[in-house]
Amino acid sequence: MPTNPPPHLSPRKRPRQARAAVTLDAIFEATIQVLVSDGPRRLTTTRVAERTGVSVGTMYQYFPHKQALFYALNERYLDIVAERVEDACRAQQGAEVAAMVEALVTAYWQVKTERAEVTRALYKSVVELDNEPLIEAFARRVDAATSTMLASASDADFADLPTVVLTLLTSIFGTVRSVFERNLPIEEADAVLRHLVLMCNAYIRTVKLPAECVTA
Amino acid sequence: MPTNPPPHLSPRKRPRQARAAVTLDAIFEATIQVLVSDGPRRLTTTRVAERTGVSVGTMYQYFPHKQALFYALNERYLDIVAERVEDACRAQQGAEVAAMVEALVTAYWQVKTERAEVTRALYKSVVELDNEPLIEAFARRVDAATSTMLASASDADFADLPTVVLTLLTSIFGTVRSVFERNLPIEEADAVLRHLVLMCNAYIRTVKLPAECVTA
DNA sequence: CCCCAAACTGAACGATCCTTCATATTCTCA
DNA sequence: TGAGAATATGAAGGATCGTTCAGTTTGGGG
Protein backbone atom coordinates (compact mmCIF):
# COMPACT_ATOMS: atom_id res chain seq x y z
CA MET A 1 0.00 0.00 0.00
CA PRO A 2 2.63 2.60 0.92
CA THR A 3 3.94 2.14 -2.58
CA ASN A 4 4.35 5.51 -4.17
CA PRO A 5 2.19 5.13 -7.26
CA PRO A 6 4.08 5.99 -10.46
CA PRO A 7 2.20 8.96 -11.89
CA HIS A 8 1.59 7.58 -15.33
CA LEU A 9 0.27 4.28 -13.98
CA SER A 10 -2.13 5.43 -11.32
CA PRO A 11 -5.86 4.87 -11.79
CA ARG A 12 -7.88 7.64 -13.28
CA LYS A 13 -10.70 7.94 -10.78
CA ARG A 14 -12.15 6.04 -7.85
CA PRO A 15 -15.70 4.73 -7.99
CA ARG A 16 -18.23 6.83 -6.08
CA GLN A 17 -21.37 4.83 -6.65
CA ALA A 18 -22.01 1.20 -5.87
CA ARG A 19 -22.40 0.14 -9.49
CA ALA A 20 -19.03 1.62 -10.31
CA ALA A 21 -17.33 -0.46 -7.63
CA VAL A 22 -19.03 -3.53 -9.06
CA THR A 23 -17.86 -2.63 -12.53
CA LEU A 24 -14.32 -2.15 -11.34
CA ASP A 25 -14.22 -5.54 -9.66
CA ALA A 26 -15.72 -7.09 -12.76
CA ILE A 27 -13.01 -5.52 -14.87
CA PHE A 28 -10.29 -7.00 -12.70
CA GLU A 29 -11.87 -10.40 -12.72
CA ALA A 30 -12.38 -10.29 -16.48
CA THR A 31 -8.77 -9.28 -16.94
CA ILE A 32 -7.67 -12.37 -15.05
CA GLN A 33 -9.99 -14.55 -17.06
CA VAL A 34 -8.77 -13.22 -20.37
CA LEU A 35 -5.21 -13.59 -19.19
CA VAL A 36 -5.77 -17.20 -18.25
CA SER A 37 -7.75 -18.24 -21.29
CA ASP A 38 -6.16 -16.16 -24.03
CA GLY A 39 -2.66 -15.49 -22.74
CA PRO A 40 -0.91 -12.20 -22.14
CA ARG A 41 -0.49 -11.42 -25.81
CA ARG A 42 -4.21 -11.56 -26.47
CA LEU A 43 -5.03 -9.44 -23.45
CA THR A 44 -6.82 -6.66 -25.26
CA THR A 45 -8.83 -3.72 -24.05
CA THR A 46 -11.63 -4.84 -26.32
CA ARG A 47 -11.51 -8.40 -25.07
CA VAL A 48 -11.44 -7.36 -21.43
CA ALA A 49 -14.37 -5.03 -21.96
CA GLU A 50 -16.32 -7.71 -23.77
CA ARG A 51 -15.66 -10.27 -21.03
CA THR A 52 -16.60 -7.72 -18.41
CA GLY A 53 -19.85 -7.06 -20.21
CA VAL A 54 -19.02 -3.42 -20.52
CA SER A 55 -17.90 -1.08 -23.26
CA VAL A 56 -14.29 -0.11 -23.84
CA GLY A 57 -14.96 3.45 -22.87
CA THR A 58 -15.90 2.40 -19.37
CA MET A 59 -12.47 0.92 -18.80
CA TYR A 60 -10.88 4.19 -19.78
CA GLN A 61 -12.80 6.00 -17.09
CA TYR A 62 -10.92 4.11 -14.45
CA PHE A 63 -7.56 3.61 -16.11
CA PRO A 64 -5.70 6.02 -18.36
CA HIS A 65 -4.38 3.11 -20.42
CA LYS A 66 -3.98 -0.63 -20.53
CA GLN A 67 -0.75 -0.63 -18.56
CA ALA A 68 -2.43 1.10 -15.63
CA LEU A 69 -5.04 -1.64 -15.48
CA PHE A 70 -2.33 -4.22 -15.58
CA TYR A 71 -0.35 -2.46 -12.93
CA ALA A 72 -3.34 -2.24 -10.60
CA LEU A 73 -4.04 -5.92 -11.11
CA ASN A 74 -0.53 -6.91 -10.12
CA GLU A 75 -0.68 -4.58 -7.18
CA ARG A 76 -3.81 -6.28 -5.94
CA TYR A 77 -2.31 -9.70 -6.37
CA LEU A 78 0.99 -8.96 -4.69
CA ASP A 79 -0.85 -7.33 -1.85
CA ILE A 80 -2.76 -10.52 -1.17
CA VAL A 81 0.37 -12.63 -1.30
CA ALA A 82 2.32 -10.29 0.96
CA GLU A 83 -0.49 -10.20 3.48
CA ARG A 84 -0.61 -13.96 3.65
CA VAL A 85 3.11 -14.22 4.20
CA GLU A 86 2.97 -11.55 6.87
CA ASP A 87 0.19 -13.44 8.64
CA ALA A 88 2.20 -16.63 8.57
CA CYS A 89 5.23 -14.83 9.96
CA ARG A 90 3.26 -13.24 12.75
CA ALA A 91 1.77 -16.57 13.73
CA GLN A 92 5.24 -18.01 14.27
CA GLN A 93 6.63 -15.31 16.56
CA GLY A 94 8.86 -16.90 19.15
CA ALA A 95 8.55 -20.39 17.74
CA GLU A 96 11.42 -22.66 16.70
CA VAL A 97 13.17 -21.91 13.42
CA ALA A 98 12.25 -25.22 11.85
CA ALA A 99 8.57 -24.46 12.31
CA MET A 100 9.10 -20.96 10.96
CA VAL A 101 10.72 -22.16 7.77
CA GLU A 102 8.07 -24.76 7.16
CA ALA A 103 5.33 -22.22 7.75
CA LEU A 104 6.95 -19.75 5.41
CA VAL A 105 7.37 -22.18 2.55
CA THR A 106 3.92 -23.62 3.04
CA ALA A 107 2.20 -20.25 3.22
CA TYR A 108 3.85 -19.02 0.05
CA TRP A 109 3.16 -22.22 -1.79
CA GLN A 110 -0.45 -22.28 -0.69
CA VAL A 111 -1.31 -18.78 -1.73
CA LYS A 112 0.30 -19.40 -5.09
CA THR A 113 -1.46 -22.69 -5.55
CA GLU A 114 -4.97 -21.71 -4.57
CA ARG A 115 -5.56 -20.21 -7.99
CA ALA A 116 -2.79 -21.84 -9.91
CA GLU A 117 -3.88 -20.65 -13.34
CA VAL A 118 -3.96 -17.08 -12.10
CA THR A 119 -0.49 -17.44 -10.68
CA ARG A 120 0.81 -18.88 -13.89
CA ALA A 121 -0.87 -16.20 -15.96
CA LEU A 122 0.55 -13.42 -13.84
CA TYR A 123 4.02 -14.95 -13.84
CA LYS A 124 3.88 -14.81 -17.60
CA SER A 125 2.47 -11.34 -17.81
CA VAL A 126 5.24 -9.73 -15.81
CA VAL A 127 6.85 -8.75 -19.08
CA GLU A 128 4.06 -6.48 -20.13
CA LEU A 129 4.93 -3.71 -17.78
CA ASP A 130 7.71 -2.20 -15.79
CA ASN A 131 6.63 -3.47 -12.43
CA GLU A 132 9.94 -3.24 -10.61
CA PRO A 133 8.55 -0.81 -8.05
CA LEU A 134 5.78 -3.30 -7.28
CA ILE A 135 8.18 -6.18 -6.89
CA GLU A 136 10.47 -4.11 -4.78
CA ALA A 137 7.69 -3.00 -2.44
CA PHE A 138 6.57 -6.58 -2.15
CA ALA A 139 10.08 -7.73 -1.41
CA ARG A 140 10.49 -5.10 1.28
CA ARG A 141 7.31 -6.13 3.04
CA VAL A 142 8.05 -9.81 3.01
CA ASP A 143 11.65 -9.22 3.93
CA ALA A 144 10.67 -7.19 6.95
CA ALA A 145 8.14 -9.76 8.12
CA THR A 146 10.57 -12.62 7.74
CA SER A 147 13.34 -10.72 9.48
CA THR A 148 11.35 -9.95 12.61
CA MET A 149 10.05 -13.49 12.67
CA LEU A 150 13.50 -15.06 12.48
CA ALA A 151 14.89 -12.58 14.98
CA SER A 152 12.34 -13.84 17.47
CA ALA A 153 13.27 -17.50 17.08
CA SER A 154 13.51 -19.31 20.39
CA ASP A 155 16.35 -21.52 19.32
CA ALA A 156 18.56 -19.60 16.93
CA ASP A 157 20.54 -16.47 16.29
CA PHE A 158 22.28 -15.40 13.13
CA ALA A 159 25.47 -13.53 12.43
CA ASP A 160 24.19 -11.99 9.20
CA LEU A 161 20.42 -12.03 9.36
CA PRO A 162 19.81 -9.83 6.29
CA THR A 163 21.74 -12.16 4.03
CA VAL A 164 20.07 -15.20 5.50
CA VAL A 165 16.64 -13.71 4.89
CA LEU A 166 17.54 -12.60 1.40
CA THR A 167 18.87 -16.03 0.51
CA LEU A 168 15.91 -17.79 2.03
CA LEU A 169 13.32 -15.68 0.26
CA THR A 170 15.12 -15.60 -3.06
CA SER A 171 15.41 -19.35 -3.13
CA ILE A 172 11.88 -20.02 -1.93
CA PHE A 173 10.30 -17.62 -4.40
CA GLY A 174 12.53 -18.74 -7.22
CA THR A 175 11.97 -22.42 -6.60
CA VAL A 176 8.22 -22.04 -6.41
CA ARG A 177 8.24 -20.07 -9.61
CA SER A 178 10.29 -22.69 -11.36
CA VAL A 179 7.96 -25.42 -10.21
CA PHE A 180 5.03 -23.49 -11.62
CA GLU A 181 6.58 -22.65 -14.92
CA ARG A 182 7.84 -26.13 -15.57
CA ASN A 183 4.32 -27.31 -14.93
CA LEU A 184 5.51 -30.29 -12.92
CA PRO A 185 3.02 -33.07 -12.15
CA ILE A 186 1.55 -32.79 -8.69
CA GLU A 187 3.54 -35.62 -7.16
CA GLU A 188 6.82 -34.14 -8.31
CA ALA A 189 5.78 -30.66 -7.27
CA ASP A 190 4.90 -31.94 -3.82
CA ALA A 191 8.17 -33.79 -3.56
CA VAL A 192 10.15 -30.69 -4.50
CA LEU A 193 8.17 -28.70 -2.00
CA ARG A 194 8.91 -31.15 0.80
CA HIS A 195 12.57 -31.20 -0.10
CA LEU A 196 12.60 -27.43 -0.30
CA VAL A 197 11.63 -27.37 3.37
CA LEU A 198 14.40 -29.86 4.11
CA MET A 199 16.83 -27.72 2.20
CA CYS A 200 15.93 -24.46 3.88
CA ASN A 201 16.08 -26.03 7.31
CA ALA A 202 19.42 -27.64 6.59
CA TYR A 203 20.63 -24.24 5.48
CA ILE A 204 19.39 -22.59 8.65
CA ARG A 205 21.16 -25.15 10.80
CA THR A 206 24.35 -24.39 8.91
CA VAL A 207 24.27 -20.62 9.30
CA LYS A 208 22.83 -20.26 12.78
CA LEU A 209 25.22 -19.35 15.55
CA PRO A 210 26.20 -22.02 18.06
CA ALA A 211 23.69 -21.95 20.90
CA GLU A 212 24.37 -19.87 23.95
CA CYS A 213 21.90 -21.49 26.31
CA VAL A 214 21.10 -18.41 28.37
CA THR A 215 20.91 -14.87 27.01
CA ALA A 216 19.27 -13.06 29.93
CA MET B 1 19.72 -30.87 -30.57
CA PRO B 2 17.70 -34.10 -30.51
CA THR B 3 14.68 -31.94 -29.83
CA ASN B 4 11.96 -32.85 -32.24
CA PRO B 5 11.37 -29.51 -33.95
CA PRO B 6 7.71 -28.49 -33.81
CA PRO B 7 6.65 -28.31 -37.45
CA HIS B 8 5.26 -24.81 -37.41
CA LEU B 9 8.31 -23.38 -35.71
CA SER B 10 11.10 -24.90 -37.73
CA PRO B 11 13.28 -22.68 -39.90
CA ARG B 12 12.35 -22.27 -43.52
CA LYS B 13 15.62 -23.00 -45.22
CA ARG B 14 19.27 -23.43 -44.39
CA PRO B 15 21.90 -21.11 -45.89
CA ARG B 16 23.85 -22.56 -48.79
CA GLN B 17 26.20 -19.73 -49.55
CA ALA B 18 28.64 -18.02 -47.21
CA ARG B 19 26.88 -14.68 -47.24
CA ALA B 20 23.65 -16.35 -46.21
CA ALA B 21 25.29 -17.84 -43.13
CA VAL B 22 26.63 -14.41 -42.25
CA THR B 23 23.17 -12.91 -42.64
CA LEU B 24 21.64 -15.55 -40.43
CA ASP B 25 24.12 -14.92 -37.65
CA ALA B 26 23.56 -11.20 -38.01
CA ILE B 27 19.83 -11.69 -37.67
CA PHE B 28 20.27 -13.60 -34.44
CA GLU B 29 22.63 -11.01 -33.03
CA ALA B 30 20.33 -8.17 -34.05
CA THR B 31 17.41 -9.92 -32.42
CA ILE B 32 19.30 -10.03 -29.17
CA GLN B 33 20.27 -6.40 -29.46
CA VAL B 34 16.73 -5.27 -30.13
CA LEU B 35 15.53 -7.41 -27.28
CA VAL B 36 18.00 -5.85 -24.90
CA SER B 37 17.58 -2.25 -25.98
CA ASP B 38 13.89 -2.09 -26.85
CA GLY B 39 12.37 -4.88 -24.77
CA PRO B 40 10.34 -7.86 -25.89
CA ARG B 41 7.27 -5.84 -26.75
CA ARG B 42 9.13 -3.74 -29.28
CA LEU B 43 10.79 -6.72 -30.86
CA THR B 44 9.50 -6.23 -34.36
CA THR B 45 10.32 -7.88 -37.64
CA THR B 46 10.94 -4.43 -39.07
CA ARG B 47 13.19 -3.42 -36.22
CA VAL B 48 15.18 -6.62 -36.35
CA ALA B 49 15.64 -6.31 -40.08
CA GLU B 50 16.71 -2.71 -39.76
CA ARG B 51 19.21 -3.52 -37.02
CA THR B 52 20.51 -6.40 -39.08
CA GLY B 53 20.99 -4.12 -42.04
CA VAL B 54 18.77 -6.28 -44.16
CA SER B 55 15.26 -6.09 -45.53
CA VAL B 56 12.28 -7.73 -43.91
CA GLY B 57 11.87 -10.14 -46.77
CA THR B 58 15.25 -11.66 -46.04
CA MET B 59 14.17 -12.68 -42.58
CA TYR B 60 11.20 -14.46 -44.04
CA GLN B 61 13.42 -16.56 -46.22
CA TYR B 62 14.86 -18.21 -43.14
CA PHE B 63 11.90 -18.17 -40.81
CA PRO B 64 8.26 -18.67 -41.66
CA HIS B 65 7.27 -16.15 -38.98
CA LYS B 66 8.49 -14.17 -36.03
CA GLN B 67 7.86 -16.93 -33.55
CA ALA B 68 10.13 -19.28 -35.44
CA LEU B 69 12.97 -16.77 -35.20
CA PHE B 70 12.32 -16.41 -31.52
CA TYR B 71 12.19 -20.12 -31.05
CA ALA B 72 15.47 -20.65 -32.82
CA LEU B 73 17.09 -17.95 -30.73
CA ASN B 74 16.02 -19.59 -27.48
CA GLU B 75 17.11 -22.94 -28.79
CA ARG B 76 20.60 -21.58 -29.45
CA TYR B 77 20.80 -20.00 -26.04
CA LEU B 78 19.58 -23.00 -24.09
CA ASP B 79 21.95 -25.18 -26.05
CA ILE B 80 24.90 -23.13 -24.89
CA VAL B 81 23.77 -23.17 -21.28
CA ALA B 82 23.11 -26.90 -21.30
CA GLU B 83 26.49 -27.62 -22.83
CA ARG B 84 28.24 -25.62 -20.15
CA VAL B 85 26.43 -27.42 -17.39
CA GLU B 86 27.18 -30.76 -18.98
CA ASP B 87 30.86 -29.85 -19.18
CA ALA B 88 30.91 -28.87 -15.54
CA CYS B 89 29.24 -32.12 -14.57
CA ARG B 90 31.64 -34.23 -16.59
CA ALA B 91 34.60 -32.46 -15.01
CA GLN B 92 33.43 -33.49 -11.57
CA GLN B 93 32.97 -37.21 -12.22
CA GLY B 94 33.98 -39.14 -9.12
CA ALA B 95 34.68 -36.06 -7.02
CA GLU B 96 33.17 -35.28 -3.65
CA VAL B 97 29.58 -34.04 -3.56
CA ALA B 98 30.48 -30.70 -2.04
CA ALA B 99 32.74 -29.91 -4.97
CA MET B 100 30.07 -31.08 -7.38
CA VAL B 101 27.44 -28.80 -5.96
CA GLU B 102 29.73 -25.83 -5.94
CA ALA B 103 30.77 -26.51 -9.52
CA LEU B 104 27.17 -26.85 -10.62
CA VAL B 105 26.01 -23.62 -9.05
CA THR B 106 29.06 -21.74 -10.24
CA ALA B 107 28.84 -23.00 -13.80
CA TYR B 108 25.19 -22.09 -14.11
CA TRP B 109 25.71 -18.69 -12.56
CA GLN B 110 28.68 -17.96 -14.76
CA VAL B 111 27.07 -18.77 -18.04
CA LYS B 112 24.07 -16.68 -17.07
CA THR B 113 26.22 -13.79 -15.96
CA GLU B 114 28.62 -13.57 -18.88
CA ARG B 115 26.06 -11.69 -20.90
CA ALA B 116 23.74 -10.55 -18.19
CA GLU B 117 21.60 -8.27 -20.34
CA VAL B 118 20.99 -11.11 -22.78
CA THR B 119 19.99 -13.38 -19.95
CA ARG B 120 17.62 -10.81 -18.57
CA ALA B 121 16.14 -10.11 -21.97
CA LEU B 122 15.55 -13.77 -22.67
CA TYR B 123 14.07 -14.37 -19.24
CA LYS B 124 11.57 -11.69 -20.05
CA SER B 125 10.85 -12.87 -23.54
CA VAL B 126 9.84 -16.35 -22.51
CA VAL B 127 6.25 -15.21 -22.69
CA GLU B 128 6.29 -14.52 -26.37
CA LEU B 129 6.20 -18.12 -27.41
CA ASP B 130 5.20 -21.55 -26.31
CA ASN B 131 8.65 -22.82 -25.53
CA GLU B 132 7.74 -25.62 -23.20
CA PRO B 133 9.32 -28.24 -25.46
CA LEU B 134 12.57 -26.26 -25.39
CA ILE B 135 12.54 -25.95 -21.64
CA GLU B 136 11.69 -29.59 -21.26
CA ALA B 137 14.50 -30.71 -23.54
CA PHE B 138 16.89 -28.48 -21.66
CA ALA B 139 15.67 -29.85 -18.34
CA ARG B 140 16.15 -33.40 -19.53
CA ARG B 141 19.72 -32.79 -20.63
CA VAL B 142 20.75 -31.04 -17.46
CA ASP B 143 18.90 -33.52 -15.33
CA ALA B 144 20.70 -36.43 -16.95
CA ALA B 145 24.11 -34.80 -16.60
CA THR B 146 23.53 -33.96 -12.96
CA SER B 147 22.21 -37.41 -12.19
CA THR B 148 25.20 -39.28 -13.57
CA MET B 149 27.52 -36.83 -11.86
CA LEU B 150 25.92 -37.27 -8.45
CA ALA B 151 25.71 -41.02 -8.90
CA SER B 152 29.48 -41.07 -9.28
CA ALA B 153 30.14 -39.15 -6.08
CA SER B 154 32.97 -40.66 -4.05
CA ASP B 155 31.41 -39.84 -0.73
CA ALA B 156 27.66 -40.10 -1.03
CA ASP B 157 24.70 -42.20 -2.07
CA PHE B 158 21.09 -41.20 -2.22
CA ALA B 159 17.89 -43.07 -1.54
CA ASP B 160 15.86 -41.05 -4.05
CA LEU B 161 18.31 -39.58 -6.51
CA PRO B 162 15.72 -38.32 -9.02
CA THR B 163 13.98 -36.19 -6.42
CA VAL B 164 17.27 -34.87 -5.10
CA VAL B 165 18.35 -33.83 -8.57
CA LEU B 166 14.99 -32.28 -9.37
CA THR B 167 15.01 -30.31 -6.15
CA LEU B 168 18.57 -29.21 -6.59
CA LEU B 169 18.10 -28.02 -10.14
CA THR B 170 14.75 -26.40 -9.56
CA SER B 171 16.08 -24.40 -6.66
CA ILE B 172 19.33 -23.42 -8.33
CA PHE B 173 17.65 -22.33 -11.54
CA GLY B 174 14.86 -20.59 -9.70
CA THR B 175 17.15 -18.78 -7.32
CA VAL B 176 19.43 -17.55 -10.07
CA ARG B 177 16.45 -16.34 -12.01
CA SER B 178 15.10 -14.48 -9.02
CA VAL B 179 18.44 -12.83 -8.42
CA PHE B 180 18.49 -11.66 -12.00
CA GLU B 181 14.99 -10.37 -12.12
CA ARG B 182 15.21 -8.51 -8.87
CA ASN B 183 18.30 -6.84 -10.27
CA LEU B 184 20.16 -7.18 -6.99
CA PRO B 185 23.35 -5.17 -6.52
CA ILE B 186 26.47 -7.21 -7.11
CA GLU B 187 27.44 -7.60 -3.49
CA GLU B 188 24.03 -8.93 -2.57
CA ALA B 189 23.92 -11.16 -5.60
CA ASP B 190 27.31 -12.60 -4.70
CA ALA B 191 26.24 -13.12 -1.11
CA VAL B 192 23.12 -14.97 -2.19
CA LEU B 193 25.18 -17.06 -4.56
CA ARG B 194 27.61 -18.07 -1.80
CA HIS B 195 24.77 -18.90 0.53
CA LEU B 196 23.06 -20.84 -2.22
CA VAL B 197 26.08 -23.13 -2.29
CA LEU B 198 25.91 -23.44 1.48
CA MET B 199 22.26 -24.24 1.24
CA CYS B 200 22.56 -26.88 -1.45
CA ASN B 201 25.42 -28.57 0.37
CA ALA B 202 23.56 -28.54 3.64
CA TYR B 203 20.65 -30.12 1.80
CA ILE B 204 22.86 -32.81 0.31
CA ARG B 205 24.27 -33.71 3.71
CA THR B 206 20.72 -34.07 4.97
CA VAL B 207 19.46 -36.40 2.27
CA LYS B 208 22.52 -38.52 1.63
CA LEU B 209 22.53 -42.01 3.01
CA PRO B 210 24.74 -42.78 6.02
CA ALA B 211 28.16 -43.83 4.76
CA GLU B 212 28.95 -47.46 4.22
CA CYS B 213 32.70 -47.23 4.20
CA VAL B 214 33.35 -50.03 1.75
CA THR B 215 31.14 -50.90 -1.19
CA ALA B 216 33.41 -53.24 -3.10
C1' DC C 1 32.32 -15.80 -69.25
C1' DC C 2 27.55 -16.90 -68.68
C1' DC C 3 23.63 -18.47 -66.73
C1' DC C 4 20.74 -20.30 -63.15
C1' DA C 5 19.86 -20.64 -58.52
C1' DA C 6 20.42 -18.48 -54.30
C1' DA C 7 19.91 -14.36 -51.87
C1' DC C 8 17.91 -10.01 -51.20
C1' DT C 9 14.58 -5.96 -51.72
C1' DG C 10 10.74 -3.07 -49.92
C1' DA C 11 6.28 -1.12 -51.10
C1' DA C 12 1.82 -2.65 -50.09
C1' DC C 13 -2.04 -5.20 -47.79
C1' DG C 14 -4.76 -6.73 -44.14
C1' DA C 15 -5.39 -7.43 -39.47
C1' DT C 16 -5.32 -5.84 -34.78
C1' DC C 17 -5.10 -2.77 -31.28
C1' DC C 18 -5.28 1.43 -28.25
C1' DT C 19 -7.55 5.47 -27.32
C1' DT C 20 -10.95 9.30 -27.80
C1' DC C 21 -15.18 11.79 -27.52
C1' DA C 22 -19.79 13.17 -28.41
C1' DT C 23 -23.77 11.19 -26.69
C1' DA C 24 -26.93 8.44 -23.86
C1' DT C 25 -28.33 6.40 -19.53
C1' DT C 26 -28.59 5.99 -14.55
C1' DC C 27 -28.17 7.43 -9.88
C1' DT C 28 -28.50 10.64 -5.90
C1' DC C 29 -29.89 14.06 -3.03
C1' DA C 30 -31.83 18.48 -2.17
C1' DT D 1 -39.43 15.05 -8.39
C1' DG D 2 -36.03 17.20 -11.02
C1' DA D 3 -31.42 18.60 -12.06
C1' DG D 4 -26.76 17.84 -12.04
C1' DA D 5 -23.23 14.52 -11.37
C1' DA D 6 -21.63 9.98 -12.16
C1' DT D 7 -21.43 6.28 -15.22
C1' DA D 8 -21.71 3.93 -19.51
C1' DT D 9 -21.72 3.59 -24.78
C1' DG D 10 -19.32 2.27 -29.14
C1' DA D 11 -18.23 3.93 -33.72
C1' DA D 12 -14.21 5.98 -35.62
C1' DG D 13 -9.35 7.58 -35.95
C1' DG D 14 -4.65 6.77 -35.96
C1' DA D 15 -0.84 3.92 -35.34
C1' DT D 16 1.84 -0.37 -35.52
C1' DC D 17 2.80 -4.76 -36.95
C1' DG D 18 3.24 -9.31 -39.51
C1' DT D 19 3.52 -11.14 -43.87
C1' DT D 20 3.62 -11.44 -48.97
C1' DC D 21 5.46 -11.36 -53.61
C1' DA D 22 6.94 -9.60 -57.96
C1' DG D 23 11.08 -8.18 -59.17
C1' DT D 24 16.34 -7.15 -58.68
C1' DT D 25 21.02 -8.30 -57.43
C1' DT D 26 24.70 -11.47 -56.41
C1' DG D 27 27.53 -15.60 -56.51
C1' DG D 28 29.51 -19.80 -58.25
C1' DG D 29 29.88 -23.86 -61.10
C1' DG D 30 30.25 -25.45 -65.85
Which residues on A lie below 8 Å from B125 (Cβ)? 127
Residues B44 and B24 in one domain: yes
CATH number of the domain at B29, please.
1.10.10.60
- Number of domains observed in the structure of chain A: 2
Residues B190 and B88 in one domain: yes
**Where a domain ends, among B45, B64, B83?**
B64
pLDDT at B106: 98
Model confidence pLDDT, tens digit, residues B100-152: 999 999 999 999 999 999 999 898 887 777 788 999 999 999 999 999 999 99
**Where a domain ends, among A45, A64, A83?**
A64
- Nearest C-alpha neighbor of B103 from the set B112, B116, B90: B90
**B205–A203 C-beta distance less than 8 A:** no
- Work out the burial of residue B98: count CB atoms within 10 Å of its CB; fewer than 13 is exposed, 13-18 middle, 19 or more buried: middle
Residues B79 and B50 in one domain: no
Residues B158 and B186 in one domain: yes
Residue B5 lies in a domain: no
Interface predicted TM-score (ipTM) of this complex, two decimals: 0.92
Residues A161 and A80 in one domain: yes
- A66: the nucleotide nearest its CA (via C1') is C18
Residue A89 lies in a domain: yes
For B177, the domain range is 73-207
Residue A147 lies in a domain: yes
Residues B104 and B51 in one domain: no
Residues B190 and B131 in one domain: yes
Residue A122 lies in a domain: yes
Residues B145 and B94 in one domain: yes
Model confidence pLDDT, tens digit, residues B146-171: 999 999 999 999 999 999 999 999 99
Residues B20 and B105 in one domain: no
Residues B140 and B33 in one domain: no
Residues A87 and A107 in one domain: yes
pLDDT at A216: 43
Output the DSSP codes for chain B: --PPPPGGGS-S----SHHHHHHHHHHHHHHHHHHHHH-GGG--HHHHHHHHTS-HHHHHHH-SSHHHHHHHHHHHHHHHHHHHHHHHHHHTTTS-HHHHHHHHHHHHHHHHHTTHHHHHHHHHHGGGS--HHHHHHHHHHHHHHHHHHHHT-TT--BTTHHHHHHHHHHHHHHHHHHHHHTT--HHHHHHHHHHHHHHHHHHHHHHBPPP-S---
Which residues on B lie below 8 Å from A179 (Cβ)? 170, 174
Residue B214 lies in a domain: no
A123 touches chain B (CB under 8 A): no
Residues B26 and B53 in one domain: yes
B164, B171, B182: residue with CB nearest A139? B182
pLDDT string in tens for chain A (216-residue length) = 445 556 677 667 788 999 999 999 999 999 999 999 999 999 999 999 999 999 999 999 999 999 999 999 999 999 999 999 999 999 999 999 999 999 999 999 999 999 999 999 898 887 777 788 999 999 999 999 999 999 999 999 999 999 999 999 999 999 999 999 898 999 999 999 999 999 999 999 999 998 765 444
pLDDT at A2: 41
Q: What's the Cα-to-Cα distance from A139 to each of A136, A151, A201, B172, rounded to whole Å? A: 5, 18, 21, 19
